[in-house]
Chain A
Amino acid sequence: MTSLRFISLITIIFFCTEALSISDLYRLGFENRLLQSEYQLALTSKIYTLFDLTHKRVQIKAKGILLKELMIEKFDLWGAPIPPKPFTIRNKATFLKPKRIKIRPGNDREAFASEMKFWGIEEMPTRYRLDLNDEVHLSVRPNVRGWIPSLLTLGSNLKSYVITRPTGMLWNGLRKKPYTELTLYLSPEDARALYWSISEGSSCIIHAFPFPISELRGRELSPYRQQALHGGSNILP
């Protein structure tokens, strides 16, 4: 009797596991690639960043250990979807780059230490752009109220809508290459902390599931989709 109960329990669990919708399958497949990418980065001795748009957070990690977590207040994703693979931060650009303090040789060290202006996190910018490989561009903006920040945001949005996006889209469209613009709005403190922590040449992963789950949920699996899912084709109708 006990063994019969056990067998039925196993059967129920088996069927429950298999009775997943198409959205769950996609989610699992996406998660699989995401985890593989993270494992690849965790094997190195470098610090890496995970931009998790699904949970609205930025995680700075090393060896799989979470070192720091910053909250994304809102974001704007435009252009081609971002694959769950490791990216390299090629360039960190800002209008006013924080200037390094130049030491004048011949200073008495203690006198110098007492009078010097410190290079600290406060000097880091809150508005900057990170250029990743494969034409993925990430802009960070502070999510602050007030007319000066709003004006600056309006200016950068105008620049983005009128110049950056159209030219980027046109140029990459002609080359048949994907182009993505991602804008993250963080608190000013978090924006500064992120600028400090990220260095050119470091790696990151962007976790942006291409569909809202609700978009896939409840959809019937068409024969075309079945074919695509089971290796017939890589392109969904």
Chain B
Amino acid sequence: MDALGYIISWKMRRNFVGSIAPEKKAASSLKFENLLIRRKIESLKPKGLYIVVDTANNLLYLKQGKRTILKAIVSCGSGSVLREPSGRREWIFETPRGEFFIQTKYENPTWIKPDWAFIEEGKPIPKKFWERAEPGALGDYALGFGNGYFIHGTLYTRLLGKNITHGCIRMGDQDLKTLYETVPIGTKVLIF
């Protein structure tokens, strides 16, 4: 059967090689075209500062080109699941992955607790907005990167380096201060 696979794949390979043949193109034009595409890809890379978050190893890098300006231990999403007792809603606490931008910056932020925070604590969801406010929970600074996700401080510094959060990225006080003071709004954030 294995041999049969190789015979069939050989036949397919012959057809395939035909399909990738550089038709009507000289080597020099192909080389030039490849160089152009490489440049196009290169042009997509951020020009200034950008943040890279490695959710597997709970590390945050502040970079400029290939140079790393800051490497910090963080805490990313726990991947845990919370279901509302009624079963109507469910949350998966993961840090989103992909390309984002720093959209907001706050000093001494107040956490406006979402519904899941009350459900998690087994408390009723308040009807008044101000009852949701919890000052101090996010540390000294918070940098929002969209959809309610923030890079912020933590009260649980001993848990840094572990996947424990509800999707936000928690940092130690000193690293957070450096990050807050260095990056402007619009900085690219790449999370993987």
Contact = CB atoms under 8 A, between A and B. Distances in A.
Interface of A: 14, 17-18, 20, 24-26, 28-33, 35-36, 38-39, 42-43, 45-47, 60, 62-65, 67-68, 78-81, 83-84, 100-103, 105-110, 113, 116, 118-121, 161-162, 165-166, 169, 173, 178, 193, 196-197, 199, 210-211, 228-231, 233-236
Contacts of A38: 37, 41
B34 to A, nearest CB: 5
Given A31-B34, A101-B80, A236 B14 contact: yes
A236 B21 contact: yes
Contacts of B17: 26, 81, 210-211, 236
A193 B30 contact: no
Nearest to B19: A234
Contacts of A17: 27-28, 31
Contacts of A105: 82-85, 119-122
B106 interface: no
A230 B15 CA distance: 16
Nearest to B1: A166
B190 A199 contact: no
Contacts of B33: 32
List the 3 closest pairs (A to B, CB-CB), nearest first. A106-B122, A29-B22, A45-B99
A68 B55 CA distance: 12
Interface of B: 1-2, 4-6, 8-9, 12-28, 30-31, 33-34, 37-38, 40-42, 44-46, 52, 54-57, 78-85, 92, 97-100, 119-122, 156, 159, 162-164, 188, 190-192
Contacts of B120: 103, 105, 107, 109
Contacts of B81: 100-103
A223 B120 CA distance: 73
Tell me the interface secondary structure of chain A in the complex.
Answer: mixed
A232 to B, nearest CB: 9
Given A105-B85, A165-B2, A166-B1, A235 B18 contact: yes
B19 to A, nearest CB: 6
Contact of B80 (A18, A119, A169, A234): A119
B78 to A, nearest CB: 5
A81 B12 contact: yes
Contact of A18 (B9, B28, B100): B28
Contact of A80 (B4, B9, B38, B80): B9
Given A107-B121, A118-B78, A193-B56, A161 B1 contact: yes
A166 B100 CA distance: 44
A199 to B, nearest CB: 7
Contacts of B1: 161-162, 165-166, 169
Contact of A29 (B15, B28, B30, B37): B30
A228 B78 contact: no
A101 B78 contact: yes
A30 B80 contact: no
Contact of B13 (A31, A81, A118): A81
B2 A161 contact: yes
Contact of A108 (B5, B55, B121): B121
A107 B122 contact: yes
Contacts of A178: 12
Nearest to B77: A119
Given A31-B34, A46-B98, A197-B56, 11 more contacts: A18-B27, A18-B28, A32-B33, A39-B41, A78-B5, A83-B20, A101-B80, A105-B84, A118-B163, A120-B162, A228-B21
